[in-house]
Amino acid sequence: MKIIAPALGTMLLAMLASPPAKALDLLSTSGSGPAGNCQPSIPSGNTAVRKRPLAVINEGTGSEFVTCAFTTEEVSINVVGFGTRISNISAVPATVNCTAVVGEELENAQYFVKSITLAPGAAGQLTWGTGDTGGLLFAKSVALSCILPPFVGVNRNRITTLLSIL
């Protein structure tokens, strides 16, 4: 025991004297096409919402709801921002309303509503960031629910998380 005790004391002194470990913070942005992560809210019998290779588009005559789930990093649940690209391929202006839902199903979820109005044949970004949400979002699940007017589509989804690496 007398041999181990001095070695343990030396080890503790070395740990106390060493500088604290610093984390390296990196921003990581992931993008995905909506064909894989966006679905019509009512899939059974819904033929108006079409999944194309680069977009999910409402090809019907009435507005349709679409839900998109974002892929998040399991090593970091610090969401900095997220968004989607919306396109209007119709001949008339269109307004798209989306609700971002952040949280877990059985816990408190946060809801953030935004809209974008697009001219005929135009596209634009609908984004949420720390200014919209009051800071970093600490949640594993991020999704959007958007109501798409006729001939309006969701084109690309992106999410940025803050990764802290020790």
Q: What does the pLDDT read at residue 8?
A: 47
Distance CA 128, CA 114 (A): 8
Q: What does the pLDDT read at residue 162?
A: 80
CB 95 within 8 A of CB 124: no
Domain covering 22-165 assigned CATH 2.40.110.10 in the classification:
no
Q: What does the pLDDT read at residue 141?
A: 83
- List, in order, residues 6 or more apart from 125 with CB less than 8 Å away: 83, 84, 85, 86, 116
Q: What does the pLDDT read at residue 75?
A: 60
> One digit per residue, pLDDT tens: the chain, 166 residues?
455 455 545 544 554 555 565 667 777 777 887 888 888 877 655 678 888 888 899 999 999 999 998 877 666 568 888 999 999 999 999 999 999 988 877 777 889 999 999 999 999 999 998 888 777 777 668 899 999 999 999 998 988 888 777 6
Q: What does the pLDDT read at residue 46?
A: 66
Dihedral angle computed from the Cα positions of residues 137, 143, 147 and 149, in that order, rounded to the nearest 10 degrees:
100
Residue with tokens 């109005």: 117
The tokens of 150 are what?
Answer: 């006729």
Q: What is the pTM of this model?
A: 0.77
With the C-alpha atoms ordered 149, 39, 112, 80, is the resulting torsion angle positive or negative? Answer: negative
Residue with tokens 């990093």: 73
CA 131 to chain centre: 15
